[in-house]
Structures are given as C-alpha cells and as structure tokens.
Amino acid sequence: MKLAFCIFKYYAHGGMGRNFMRIIQACLAHGHSIDVYAMECDCASLNNLSITIIPSHGFTNHARAQSYVNQVRALLKQKDYDAIVGFNRMPGLDVFYAADVCYKEDVLKRHGWLYRLTNRYRTYARLEESVFNKHAKTHILLISENEKQHFVKHYQTQNERFHLLPPGINKDRIAPINATDIRHKVRQQHHLSNDQSLILLIGTNFHLKGVDRALRAIAALPQAVQQKTAFWVIGKGKQKPFINLAKKLHLESQIVFLGINENITQYLLAADLLIHPARREAAGMVILEAMVAGLPVLTTDVCGFAFHVKQAEAGLVVPSPFQQEQLNQMLYQMLTSNQRKAWKENGLKYAYTEDLYSRAETACKIIENIATTTVS
C-alpha cells in the first residue's frame, strides 16, 4: 500500500516521535511505501523515506498549524494514497493517532470562557472537531482508554471508530541479566554512594511532567532522608525556572539536568524511584519503561498508564484532585518502605506476563484494515 504519514513536528526523542517511527517501521516491514509530510523534522533519523517539509507561515503556533494543514491537504489531493495517517489533528485523515488529551476537555478544566474566544482556541478546537465529529470518517488509534469518554462527550464519536492499542515499549527496557552491574557502574560514574536514593524524572516538558511538584516533595522530606537523596531529570525543557526553584528550596546541589540521553535504560537501572507527577498525560510510556526495568513508580492518576502501576502493584498513584501534601507523604513512604523490593519484583514480573510491546504492529494491522475497507 501507499501511505501518507502527517505530523507537525517530528523529533526522535519523546513519546510521539518514538511511536511515529515505530509504526512507520512496522508498515515498512509489511512492504508498504510511506511518504512523510512534516512542518519540522529530525530527518536524519528517517533514512530512506520520502520526506516533504511544509514551510508553514504565521507568527503563532496555531497559525503555523493551520498553514501546514492547508498546504498538506492540497498536496495530498494531488496523490493517490491508500490511507492518510495523522499524528496531529487535521481534516481529511483516514487514521488519527491520538497521542494527546482531548483539547476541548482540557480547556474546560484549565481555562475560563475568555480563552474560548481566542483564535488559538478556535483553530485547535476546529482541527480536533474535524477528526472526532460524528460525521467524520476518521478512525482513531487510542493509546489510553481514559480519553475516549471525553471525545464521545464533546463530539458524539461513534464507538466503532475507536481502536485501543496495546502499549508499545521497547523490550530493551526490560532489566537485563547484568542489571546489577550496570546499576553499580552508572552510580560510580556519578559518584553516588550505596546509601543514597536516586529519584529519576524523564520528560520533554518539565512543567507538564511536574518537576516543580517533585522538587517540593523532596524539600518536604525529613532532613536525614533528604540529604541522602539525589534527583536527576532527563529530557528537553526549560531548566532555568526549576533551577531557581531548587535554589529557593535549598536543593541546588541535589538536582542534575542530564538533557536528552539515548541510554535511558541504564539510568532506570541506576535509580531507586521514578517520579512522574504529571499534570496531564494521555499515556506516560516512561511509567511502563520504569516498571519493566524493576524501578518502582510514583505517579499521578491523570496519566493514562497509571493503572498499570496499581494493577502490577509496582508503586503508588497519587489520586485526583492533586494535593502536594499527598505527593510529599507518598514520596517519603516509597523511599523508606520495606515494600521497595516487592514493588521492584512485581514490575519485573509484569514485564513477562502482559503485552506491553505490540503497539506498532497492531497499529499497522489496523491501518491496513481501514485502508482496505476504504478502497473497497
């Protein structure tokens, strides 16, 4: 089949970028040809693919998004594709990969009525409606059941258009036989002693992922525990506001920003706890990556994959509405509890008893079925 894959911005790092690439690789393995249309693109990691960069115009993100949509739709009409797959909301898609939360629901929770009068809101709401409204033909690949109710609430989207995908983490995240050796090596390289607790946070938007919440929870620890706690942040984001907060909380010597790193697994093995107090998160792939590496998880229940932590009994989940004090107490509990070994073993067991790996292959088969139905 001949497939078009559309995405505003593709970067190899980050959940959407990784899943974009994995689904493309699965489709290529099935013998399909793929053209990529992107506004911005880390093209070096998309070798041997036909890539068209759309030079979008506008002074705002929503204006550039609309410019991209207008141009790419005109280009797609000139070619005969078996299916058009989108990773951002736009009209004319056969398949949409729903990597984010429902925009209208999120706006209702976070903004007042004045925001809904802005061009930004009108643009993004219109693009979302083009995908989910009951008259659209687009099929939706869901990565979490959580958001389905919101799309149905706002758009009356038919149930048969939703397709829930299994998680799609790489099996190389599973703790290897020499996990203990890797742990000791990484900790020695960073001068961490055996009695220090290492808390890890991984994400590409530090405010959204709750770096400030994590810092406040660490600051609330009893002094004896806090002094033996290190906090590492991996990912891309604005560091300055959180460095300033760390200084205000007298934690500047304990927080380290490691930037984007390819060797996530070694840090998961070196750490003692993954903290993921996200404000919004459709899924939260890193939650599962930590669990299968044997790393206990502390997260918020707004994350689509938080239920896996409860199901596996591999950590603790902060309930909504979020309260900082509750996160503080749970962090202290996890750092001092005798359950740490059980949480670790439960996560490792979960890695071998649940299908956490077949998202890309499943998505490819769904795309094939939808393309075949559309053609016929």
> Looking at the predicted structure, is the pLDDT value of residue 34 above 70?
yes
Please give the CATH superfamily to which domain 2-166+358-375 belongs.
Answer: Glycogen Phosphorylase B; (3.40.50.2000)
Q: What is the mean pLDDT of residues 212-222?
A: 98
User: pLDDT tens digits for 98-141?
Assistant: 999 999 999 999 999 999 999 999 999 999 999 999 999 999 99
Q: What is the pLDDT of residue 49?
A: 87
Give me the pLDDT at residue 375, please.
Answer: 55
Q: What is the pTM of this model?
A: 0.86
Which residue would you say has higher pLDDT here, 321 or 18?
Answer: 321
Q: Domain ranges for the chain, please list them.
A: 2-166+358-375, 171-353
Q: What is the 3-state secondary structure (H, E, C) of 282-336?
A: CCCHHHHHHHHCCCCEEEECCECCHHHHHHHCCEEEECCCCCHHHHHHHHHHHHH
| Buried-exposed string 330-342: b where 16+ CB fall within 10 A, e elsewhere | bbbebbeeeebee
Q: Is the pLDDT confidence value at 376 over 60?
A: no
Q: What is the pLDDT of residue 13?
A: 72
280 pLDDT exceeds 80? yes
For 323-368, write each residue's pLDDT tens digit. Answer: 999 999 999 999 999 999 999 999 999 999 999 999 999 999 999 9
Mean pLDDT of 177-181: 96
Q: Using CA atoms, how far apart are residues 158 and 23, in angstroms rounded to an integer?
A: 24
CA–CA separation, 27 and 49 (whole Å):
12
Percent above pLDDT 90 for the chain: 87
Rg (CA), the chain: 21
Q: Which residue would you say has higher pLDDT here, 43 or 181? A: 181
State yes or no: pLDDT of 204 exceeds 80.
Answer: yes
Q: Kindly report which listed range (127-141, 176-190, 219-233, 248-262) carries the lowest average pLDDT score.
A: 248-262
Query: How would CATH label the architecture of 171-353?
Result: 3-Layer(aba) Sandwich (3.40)
pLDDT at 313: 98
250 band by pLDDT with thresholds 50, 70 and 90: very high
pLDDT exceeds 90 at position 219: yes
